[in-house]
Amino acid sequence: RLKQGSVGTSQAALSNGGSQPRTFTFAALPESLSQMQALPEAALDDPFQTAALTVCALCVYAADANIGTEMLNWLRGPRPLGNYDISFLNDRFRDGKFYVPFSYFKGAVPENDYTPTQPYTLTVETNPYSDANPGYKKLFIRSGGADNAREVVLRMRGDGKWFLWDQFILVGIKEPKSADPWA
C-alpha cells in the first residue's frame, strides 16, 4: 500500500517564498494517477511540489508510458503532452536508460546502478535566477550522476496552482557501473 509523501520544510523557508532547498520524502512511488493525486504534494499549490512529482511521474513513465503520460498530463494542467513531447520522452528512455529519473533520489549513484535509498528522498532547490520571469519558477534538482543540477520550469495558473512547463532532467548522466565494460 502506498504511503503518503511528506515534505521536510522549515516554516521559515515557506514564509520567505521558498528560497531554501525543499526536501521531499516518499515511502513509495505512486503507481497510478489516483495514487499520485492522493499525495499531499498533489495540491500543486507550490512549485516545489510539482517539481518533485515530476520526477516521480518520469520514473513511472520509464516503467509504463501510458500511466506516466497520464501523470505528466495532469502535472501539465491545461497544456497536455504533444506528439513532440512524447517522442522526446520515448527517445530519452530508448536503449535502457530507465535509470535516469531515479538518479535524482538520494543514494542513487553510478556505483549502485542508480538504486535510490528508501524512503525515496529528493531535494528541490532555487538559484538567483529562479524567479527571473513573472508567473514562472525555475527550480533545480541534483542527480547522483551529474556534476550540475538540472532544471524544471513551472508555470502558475491564475488560481495559484503550479504546473509543469518544461523539464531538463532527462539529459545524459554518467553510465551506471553495470553498463561500464571496463568495470
Q: What is the pLDDT of residues 35-92, one digit of tens each?
A: 999 999 999 999 999 999 999 999 999 999 999 999 999 999 999 999 999 999 999 9
The pLDDT score that the predictor gives to residue 6 is 43
Over residues 152-178, mean pLDDT? 96
How many whole angstroms separate alpha carbon 138 and alpha carbon 126? 7
What is the pLDDT of the chain when averaged over all its residues? Answer: 90
**With 60 as the cut, is the pLDDT of residue 14 above it?**
no
Bridge partners, residue 125, by sequence = 140
How many whole angstroms separate alpha carbon 32 and alpha carbon 182? 38
Rg (CA), the chain: 16
Tell which residue, 34, 53, 5, has the closest CA to residue 169.
53
Dihedral sign from CA coordinates of 40, 42, 47, 48: positive
How many whole angstroms separate alpha carbon 65 and alpha carbon 57? 10
The pLDDT score that the predictor gives to residue 20 is 76
